Chains A and B, each alone.
Chain A
């Protein structure tokens, strides 16, 4: 076997991302003010957190072929559980995070064990039902625990000082970027492992997996739980970055957003969902700013009203992407493999 030469561009991208908080460069149109302004760093860092969530969703949807509509439940668990422990029970950060991990694990095992007894659309519906139940509980504010529609702000007194305040946004940026890199490498390791290959087999043909002597249910439960825990990690980071929890993070809209990120980015390569997440979040935020600007409000009402909603434009972009790049950004590169195979086979025939 010859050693494959690895492309070096990931290293370059990584190096650039690492120094961003130290660089005051201006990128007009793309970003307001210098790149290392707190607002810009936060925009990127939330993109990274969504990237982690998209990676977790891709494990389920892209690699194992399981369409869950309940992923927001676990992201939401990562957002709400630590803030509840920190604010209401005055716990310190370590125990609060451990508590989040344990509860998310238990929740994922319970929901997965039940929901995975169904398949396809039924599975999607069961997971949706669980997630909606979660969103309703958060909205009802039981025992003043979740803050209802208002949400909960993150209390700062039990947090290390390097995490608190706008001046430390750079630290949170690095923390989230580090988490993204770790999750990326972990995911890469998992999908190339024996278990990871079985996940792929389940996506390709679950009946055949059964008929080579494996129980699909077990492997699906494993990927469901792993994916839920990673989503919760993304939720925790999102909580720190937004200094509070809002019900939007448990709603099924967020699951749909994850689905869009994975589809836009494409699941053909692992960087696809991350790219999709960054693009989705960037557009969502920037289009909101743009919509509020004078350029849009100066237009006649027929145009300015729909354009004022970023989802309107995102929707159009999504439709165009699905039409012209049905396998997403990454998939467009990867599909070449199947095409090449077909060509070789046709020539042989």
Chain B
């Protein structure tokens, strides 16, 4: 298990947001997290990436406990994250976005006396990340001027730039126009098949979930109610009634 939780619980005041979740993600697998709005999917991701501290329970990455690590330290270990609200550097050119992310993942960030732009290896990697998500040719565009779909792709490129082992994707197709969704899913499939990354994805589009996932985790009211192959999960009567709304 590359990523594992043990009795993970998050409470805000009286409300239980994440309820005693224990599960593990095997290396190289694609796991989708589904559940109705307010089921605690994003909160679970925030616990993984360290933006929330759990009320109780523990999180392990490659067998090592990371429950108390700061967000940046988890990224350093290889746990990358994209957000439901696009999180890029809007005022910087597209290439500088990924260049900065590649630079961040390598040594030499404390250097005031040399130019940041002379490291060819960093530049090549930054261009490669744009290539993967299909943003080549847009290097000089200021990121804030991209269409929403392209911003989401850029965020994926930023994620890849830090060379993570596990990618947490929070609704990567949210806000993407219908005709751009297939391209986005192709990028994600490419990251799974060619880059062989472990991926955890929160997603509402059931056909995408069904198509991409090795396993599906179902959350309801913060608790893990099912965790199995897509076929088994979709056939589960509880899931069908609680989430899919099928009697």
Contacts and interface: CB of A to CB of B under 8 A. Distances in A.
Interface stretch (A101-109, A123-131, A340-348): A340-348
A211 B116 contact: no
A216 B105 CA distance: 14
Given A209-B104, A349-B147, A197 B96 contact: yes
B89 A211 contact: no
Interface in A190-208: 190, 192-198, 200-201, 203-205, 207-208
Interface SS of A by simple majority: helix
A198 B92 CA distance: 12
A210 B72 contact: yes
Central interface residue in B73, B103, B162, by most chain A CB within 10 Å? B103
A213 interface: yes
A211 B49 CA distance: 9
B87 interface: yes
B111 A194 contact: yes
Interface of B: 49, 70-73, 75-76, 80-81, 83, 87-93, 96, 99-101, 103-105, 108-117, 140-142, 144-147, 158, 161-162
A212 B87 contact: no
A318 B109 CA distance: 38
23 contacts: A190-B112, A192-B117, A193-B114, A193-B115, A194-B108, A194-B110, A194-B114, A195-B112, A196-B116, A201-B104, A208-B88, A211-B49, A211-B71, A211-B75, A211-B81, A212-B101, A212-B161, A212-B162, A214-B109, A215-B70, A222-B110, A345-B145, A345-B147
A326 to B, nearest CB: 15
B162 A210 contact: no
Central interface residue in B72, B75, B88, by most chain A CB within 10 Å? B72
A303 B210 CA distance: 76
B103 to A, nearest CB: 6
Interface in A159-196: 189-190, 192-196
Contacts of B49: 211
A215 B72 contact: yes
B142 A212 contact: no
Contacts of B115: 192-193
Contact of A213 (B88, B89, B116, B162): B162
Interface SS of B by simple majority: loop
A338 interface: yes
Contacts of B109: 194-195, 198, 214
A195 B76 CA distance: 17
Interface string A35-71: 0000000000000000000000000000000000000
Given A212-B75, A212-B158, A213-B72, A193 B141 contact: no
A207 B162 CA distance: 15
Contacts of A341: 93, 140-142, 145
Given A211-B49, A211-B71, A349-B147, A204 B92 contact: yes
A209 B109 CA distance: 12
B72 A338 contact: no
A344 B87 contact: no
Q: Which 8 A-B pairs have the closest CB atoms?
A: A213-B75, A204-B89, A212-B104, A341-B142, A341-B145, A213-B76, A194-B116, A342-B145
B87 A197 contact: no
Interface of A: 189-190, 192-198, 200-201, 203-205, 207-216, 222, 337-338, 341-342, 344-345, 349
A33 B162 CA distance: 61
Contacts of A204: 89-92
A209 B104 CA distance: 8
Nearest to B163: A213
Contacts of A215: 70, 72-73
Given A209-B104, A211-B81, A200 B147 contact: no
A205 B104 CA distance: 14
A196 B104 CA distance: 12
Contacts of B76: 213
Contact of B75 (A192, A210, A216): A210
A200 B108 CA distance: 17
A194 B103 contact: yes
Contacts of A213: 72-73, 75-76, 104-105, 162
A195 B89 contact: no
A337 B143 CA distance: 12
A216 to B, nearest CB: 8
A318 to B, nearest CB: 24
Contacts of A196: 112, 116
Nearest to B93: A341
Contact of B104 (A190, A193, A214, A337): A214
A292 to B, nearest CB: 44
Contact of A344 (B75, B96, B105, B141): B141
A227 B235 CA distance: 62
A193 B111 contact: yes
Central interface residue in B70, B99, B104, by most chain A CB within 10 Å? B104
Given A192-B117, A198-B104, A210-B75, 9 more contacts: A197-B100, A201-B92, A207-B83, A208-B158, A211-B71, A211-B75, A215-B73, A341-B141, A341-B145
B146 A345 contact: yes
Contact of A205 (B72, B89, B108, B110): B89
B116 A193 contact: yes
Nearest to B114: A193
A199 to B, nearest CB: 10
A209 B87 CA distance: 10
